[in-house]
């Protein structure tokens, strides 16, 4: 017996069928015998390699005259795309592209298995099986798989990566539940294919029992369309999503159209479109469109739609030391009631912004220059006497149809020095100027000009020490600054809602925009302390307060910024082995809490949990008639390799109600995925109508996706 004799010859006889291709084959076998000059017989661990295909069998016989290979099994053919074909016996042509395999079984991407009494190979592209059964489920013992498809004929198109079933019967646990004259599904290696996706079922208080049946259309390699009809007793809805990848960008359009019983006779809709194009010289062009028929449409259907809609177009460029942006915005607020809403947002806004950092050669440090040109247009509205009585120049409600064009420019410079004893001294100075043209507002003149000079100096003294448990860092901070106001007071369009935190603690103006500034002399005094433990946990504490020589109008009481001295600002943070905790408090001079925020999270192995708490005093200047006290939780747990759950909930502690709760439970194995969901929420923050919805999604794994990581073992 020859031991694994390698015949590495340009097998004229074995590749005669490849005369056109002139591709040699490689034969490996324990024994090879030549009968006359027409027949070659290879026995014992036979392997044949030909054009990327590998054939394994105990015995093969090649007949040169007939140009056929007869194979005694069990045989295995592994094709270049990873498809595995096994059988008991085969009669194939020399290039393994055509022929018949008896007792055939095809394994696609180690997931989909198709077995039949016989399989015909046609042109190396099609595998056709008769009286076949297909499944992606692992079978343990003698029982049937969880699901399978029986068919009179199954055709696998290796080029198109599609599987066709004729006279098919879908079975669950061996019981037939559906008959399909013809069925097509992608093989596991195909990422995108036109066809139906997994349906989902939803039971809702608003719409009753409904079903969503997504249909995916792969238009070409660069674009696709997803249509999802949603049918329920109280609604007829069509959701859609269009995506297109471009050479220099992308386009995404999504939305929905509904005819329901909530607003009979009214066609309800939402649309959201986003596009981005990368242009030469690092420019980017972007468009965004957001619109809906009414404010409650998104909340009733669970779509990502708010009551305020903003559409925009922008041309921008971001470089290492500069930023440019030209933008057009359109804002619209829609209400659930016929009462006209007077929002502070302009209907139309056009803006041009240029921002640049630089280093003065003679001074060092860092300089910054910014220029912005913006135009605002509001439509004329009818103002009722009741609304007019509540209007002031600084109110949250904007009771005018003021139009304006504003030019804003500012330049500033800052630098730090390291002094003896580790003290860090800083200095900054700047000048900002605005020129505004207005109309349709009797409270302001038609031509306004303003200049704001600023100057500040700061001292920091970081001190560290090493202890047995770790290291500590203590840093007191003192900043003294001045901001002046020369000229006219401007209308307030961008400084309405303001926050006080350590992000703006050392700013000379803590307004959210440039239309207002903190005037006069001020001093910011703060202290930070950090501990870095050798065991891995860290603790950060910070506190501070700002003192001013005068009261600045425009800050709400709950912002912590009103008065000649701000509230006390306190912050803390802890991190340890997956645990994180961050909090921020604002305490008034009597040490009562005016605002509080806390965020905690834990992430390790299979568990991820986070929680937030928010509290703020009632403040009519921020359209908040009562205190706000909310707590929210969210997270996910991977219960095992195949079981997982996710949840989120939010409690309104003032109203003593649970506002939104979502619980999802998912099971997946190699051949099926099942998702269950329970949702309970209020239609809006001011509505007493609560909706409860149940959902279920059942899909087949291993069909058009990779589910090998969920594969079961027969032991459990």
What is the per-residue pLDDT for 339?
A: 40
245 to 12, 223, 568, 682: CA distances (angstroms)? 48, 6, 51, 38
What is the per-residue pLDDT for 260?
A: 92
Q: What angle do CA 85, 86, 88 make, to 5 degrees?
A: 145
What is the per-residue pLDDT for 345?
A: 46
10-residue averages of pLDDT along the chain (716 residues): 36 39 70 80 86 87 83 86 87 82 89 90 88 89 86 91 92 90 87 85 90 92 94 95 94 95 90 94 94 85 78 95 95 60 62 95 92 86 46 46 90 94 94 91 85 96 92 96 92 83 92 89 96 94 95 87 93 93 93 94 91 92 86 93 92 86 92 91 66 88 81 71
Domain boundaries, the chain: 98-188
Residue whose tokens read 């031991």: 3
Nearest of 234, 241, 231, 237 to residue 258 by alpha carbon: 237
* Other CB atoms within 10 A of residue 369 CB: 15
633 to 277, 530, 608, 613: CA distances (angstroms)? 38, 28, 11, 9
CB neighbour list of residue 450: distance below 8 Å, 6 or more residues apart: 433, 434, 436, 485, 486, 487, 488, 489, 490
In whole angstroms, give the CA distance from residue 455 to residue 428: 6
Q: Could you tell me the pTM of the whole model?
A: 0.78
In whole angstroms, give the CA distance from residue 312 to residue 327: 7
Q: What is the DSSP string of 548-561?
A: ESSPPTT--GGGT-
Nearest of 227, 33, 190 to residue 108 by alpha carbon: 190
Q: What angle do CA 511, 517, 523 make, to 5 degrees?
A: 90
What is the per-residue pLDDT for 170?
A: 92
Task: Evaluate whether 166 touches 151 at the Cβ level (below 8 Å).
Answer: yes
Nearest of 186, 179, 196 to residue 164 by alpha carbon: 186
Nearest of 168, 111, 126 to residue 670 by alpha carbon: 111
Residue 286, class by beta-carbon neighbours within 10 Å (0-12 exposed, 13-18 middle, 19+ buried)? middle
Nearest of 545, 569, 575, 541 to residue 472 by alpha carbon: 541
What is the per-residue pLDDT for 22?
A: 46
In whole angstroms, give the CA distance from residue 374 to residue 263: 39
What is the per-residue pLDDT for 397?
A: 40
């Amino acid at each position: 017996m020859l031991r694994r004799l390698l015949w590495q010859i340009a097998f004229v006889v074995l590749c005669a069928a490849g005369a056109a291709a002139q591709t040699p084959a490689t034969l490996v076998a324990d024994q090879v015998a030549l009968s006359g000059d027409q027949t070659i017989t290879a026995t014992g661990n036979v392997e044949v390699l030909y054009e990327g295909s590998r054939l394994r069998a105990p015995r093969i016989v090649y007949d040169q005259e007939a140009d056929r290979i007869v194979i005694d099994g069990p045989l295995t053919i592994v094709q270049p795309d990873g498809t595995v074909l096994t059988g008991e016996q085969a009669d194939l042509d020399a290039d393994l592209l055509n022929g018949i395999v008896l007792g055939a079984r095809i394994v696609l991407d180690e997931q989909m298995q198709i077995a039949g009494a016989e399989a015909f190979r046609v042109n190396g592209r099609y595998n056709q099986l008769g009286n076949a059964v297909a499944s992606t489920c692992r079978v343990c013992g003698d029982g049937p798989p969880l699901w399978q498809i029986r068919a009179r004929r199954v055709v696998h198109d290796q080029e198109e990566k599609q599987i066709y079933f004729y006279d098919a019967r879908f079975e669950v646990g061996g019981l037939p539940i559906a008959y399909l004259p013809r069925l097509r599904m992608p093989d596991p290696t195909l990422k995108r294919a036109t066809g139906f996706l997994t349906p989902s079922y939803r039971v809702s208080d608003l719409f009753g029992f409904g079903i969503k049946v997504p249909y995916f259309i792969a238009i070409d390699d660069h674009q696709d369309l997803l249509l999802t009809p949603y049918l329920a007793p109280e609604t007829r809805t069509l959701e859609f999503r269009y995506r297109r990848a471009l050479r220099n960008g992308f386009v995404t359009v999504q939305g929905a159209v509904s005819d329901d019983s909530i607003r009979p006779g009214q066609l309800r809709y939402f649309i959201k479109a986003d596009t981005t194009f990368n242009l030469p010289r690092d420019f980017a062009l972007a468009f965004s469109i957001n619109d809906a028929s009414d404010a409650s449409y998104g909340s009733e259907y669970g779509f990502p739609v708010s009551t305020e809609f903003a559409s925009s177009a922008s041309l921008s460029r971001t470089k290492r030391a500069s930023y440019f942006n030209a933008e057009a915005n359109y804002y619209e607020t829609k209400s659930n009631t016929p009462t006209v809403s007077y929002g502070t947002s302009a209907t139309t806004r056009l803006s041009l912004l240029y921002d640049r950092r630089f280093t003065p050669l003679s001074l060092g440090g860092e300089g910054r220059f910014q220029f912005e040109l913006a135009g605002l247009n509001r439509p004329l509205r009818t103002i009722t006497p009741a609304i007019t009585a509540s209007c002031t120049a600084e109110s949250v409600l904007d009771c005018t149809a003021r139009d304006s064009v504003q030019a804003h420019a500012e330049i500033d410079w800052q630098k730090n020095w390291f002094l003896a004893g580790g003290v860090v001294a800083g200095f900054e100075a700047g000048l900002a100027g605005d020129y505004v043209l207005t109309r349709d507002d009797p409270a302001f003149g038609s031509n306004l000009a303003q200049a704001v000079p600023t100057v500040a100096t700061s001292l920091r003294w970081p001190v560290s020490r090493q202890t047995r448990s770790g290291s500590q860092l203590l840093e007191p901070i003192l900043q003294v600054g001045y901001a002046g106001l020369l000229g006219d007071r401007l209308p307030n369009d961008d400084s309405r809602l303001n926050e006080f935190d350590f992000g703006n603690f050392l700013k000379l103006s803590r307004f959210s925009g440039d239309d207002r500034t903190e005037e006069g002399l001020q001093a910011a005094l703060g202290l930070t302390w950090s501990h870095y433990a050798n065991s891995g946990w860290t603790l950060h504490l910070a506190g501070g307060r700002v003192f001013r020589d005068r009261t600045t109008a425009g800050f709400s009481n709950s912002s912590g910024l009103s008065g000649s001295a701000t509230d006390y600002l306190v912050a803390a943070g802890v991190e340890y082995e997956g645990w994180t905790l961050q909090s921020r408090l604002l305490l008034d001079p009597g040490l009562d809490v005016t605002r509080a925020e806390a965020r905690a999270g834990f992430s390790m192995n299979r568990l991820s949990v986070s929680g937030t708490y928010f509290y703020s005093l009632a403040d009519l200047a921020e359209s908040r008639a009562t205190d706000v006290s909310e707590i929210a939780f969210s997270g996910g747990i991977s219960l095992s390799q195949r079981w997982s759950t996710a949840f989120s909930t939010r409690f309104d502690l003032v109203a003593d109600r649970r506002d939104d709760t979502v619980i999802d439970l998912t099971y997946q194995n190699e051949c099926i995925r099942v998702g269950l969901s329970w949702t309970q929420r209020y239609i809006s923050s001011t509505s007493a109508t609560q909706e409860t919805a149940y959902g279920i999604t059942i899909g087949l794994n291993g069909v058009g996706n990779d589910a090998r990581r969920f594969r079961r073992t027969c032991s459990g």
